[in-house]
C-alpha cells in the first residue's frame, strides 16, 4: 500500500520532503507533482524502479526517461551544453520544458537514447519538485504519469492513490498541477527541434 503525503504546494513541510527522499534513496518509486503533470520518479541508480515505471506505463526499452534537475549546475553534470544552447535554455528555465541533449558519462547507459546517446533534462518551476530534488542532491529519473488506458495524465493525488496503490511506494498530493506535459526541444544536433508542443511556449525556439 502506497504512503499518502499531503504536502503544501508553496511551503512544503521539511519532514514530508525528507520522508519522500528517504523512500527514493531506499529504491522506492514515488508519484509526485511537477509544473506540468504528475510524474513517476526514482533515484538515478534504481534499476528495478525504472523497470517498475515501464510496467506501469507499458513502455518499451526505447522510451526516453527525463532527469528532473534542481538547477543549471546540476543539469551541467549530466548533459553537454555549449554557450548558445546554454543561453537559450537558461532563458526558458525553470519552466515546462524538456531538453534533449548529449549525455555525459554521469548518465547510466540504460537511460540514454541507444543510438544518439542523448538524455532528456528539465528544471521544473514547482516548489515541491524543487524541494525534493534539493534534498535528494541529484536528479530524479522521471516519466509522465500517463497510464496506458488513459487519454490524459492523472492530476489528483487521491485518484493516483486509488489507481496505483499497490504499484508505487508513495503518492505526494500538492493539489492539481495540470494535464499538459512539457514542451520537448531537441538540441542534440545544435539547432533546436521542437519534438512536442506542450505547456511551455515553443515560439522562443522556432528558427
Strand locations in the chain (E): 3-6, 30-33, 38-42, 66-68, 97-102, 118-122, 140-144, 170-173, 183-186, 193-196
CB count within 10 Å of CB 62 equals 8
Q: What is the pLDDT of residue 114?
A: 85
CB count within 10 Å of CB 202 equals 16
pTM of the model: 0.95
Q: What is the pLDDT of residue 115?
A: 87
Pick out the chain residues at pLDDT < 50: none
Domain segments of the chain as ranges: 3-205
Return d(Cα 159, Cα 170) in angstroms, integer: 13
Q: What is the pLDDT of residue 142?
A: 97
Contact 98, 39 (CB under 8 A): no
Return d(Cα 195, Cα 186) in angstroms, integer: 7
Return d(Cα 119, Cα 80) in angstroms, integer: 10
Residue 34 has which C-alpha cell?
A: 511537477
Q: Pick from 193, 204, 5, 16: which is nearest to 95 by CA? A: 204
Q: Which CATH superfamily is domain 3-205 in?
A: DHBP synthase (3.90.870.10)
Return d(Cα 20, Cα 200) in angstroms, integer: 27
What does the pLDDT look like over 93-103, one tens digit per residue? 999 999 999 99
Amino acid at each position: 500500500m502506497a504512503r499518502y503525503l499531503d504536502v503544501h504546494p508553496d511551503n512544503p513541510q521539511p519532514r514530508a520532503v525528507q520522508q519522500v527522499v528517504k523512500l527514493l534513496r531506499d529504491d522506492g518509486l514515488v508519484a509526485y507533482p511537477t509544473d506540468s503533470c504528475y510524474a513517476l520518479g526514482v533515484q538515478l541508480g534504481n534499476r528495478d524502479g525504472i523497470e517498475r515505471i515501464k510496467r506501469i506505463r507499458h513502455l518499451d526499452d526505447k522510451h526516453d526517461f527525463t532527469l528532473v534537475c534542481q538547477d543549471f549546475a546540476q543539469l551541467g553534470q549530466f548533459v553537454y551544453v555549449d554557450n548558445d544552447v546554454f543561453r537559450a535554455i537558461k532563458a526558458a528555465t525553470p519552466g515546462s520544458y524538456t531538453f534533449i541533449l548529449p549525455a555525459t558519462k554521469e548518465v547510466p547507459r540504460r537511460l540514454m537514447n541507444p543510438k544518439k546517446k542523448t538524455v532528456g533534462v528539465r528544471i521544473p518551476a514547482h516548489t515541491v519538485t524543487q524541494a525534493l530534488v534539493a534534498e535528494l542532491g541529484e536528479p530524479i529519473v522521471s516519466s509522465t504519469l500517463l497510464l496506458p488506458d488513459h487519454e490524459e495524465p492523472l492530476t489528483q493525488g487521491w485518484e493516483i492513490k486509488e489507481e496505483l496503490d499497490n504499484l508505487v511506494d508513495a503518492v505526494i498530493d500538492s493539489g492539481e498541477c495540470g494535464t499538459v506535459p512539457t514542451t520537448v526541444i531537441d538540441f542534440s544536433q545544435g539547432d533546436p527541434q521542437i519534438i512536442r508542443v506542450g505547456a511551455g511556449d515553443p515560439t522562443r525556439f522556432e528558427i
